[in-house]
Amino acid sequence: MVVRIPDQYLTISGTLSTSNIIMANWSRQMWQGVVNRVVRALASGSLGSNFFSAVA
């Protein structure tokens, strides 16, 4: 049986804080690169079809 996932569970959001002075000054573009690598890593795993997009 396949059940539709309720909309409130389709998106995860949050805030990331760092005390590392170098990372704290990274641009949004730098963080987007990190997020893109994370999405690729998740997409290549056993639940890969569940991960397709992320925005920094």
Residue 42 pLDDT more than 80?
yes
In a domain, 55, yes or no: no
In a domain, 42, yes or no: yes
Residue 19 pLDDT class (50, 70, 90 cuts): very high
Q: In this predicted model, what pLDDT tens digit does every residue of 26-37 receive, in sequence order?
A: 999 999 999 889
Whole-model pTM? 0.63
CA 1 from centroid of its chain's CA atoms: 28
> Considering its fold, how many domains does the chain have in total?
1
The residue written with tokens 């804080």 in the block is 17
* Amino acid identity at 36: N
Segments forming the whole domain that contains residue 34: 7-50
Residue 41: inside a domain, yes or no?
A: yes
pLDDT of residue 55: 76
Q: Establish if 1 belongs to a structural domain.
A: no
Do residues 11 and 39 make contact, with C-beta atoms less than 8 angstroms apart? no
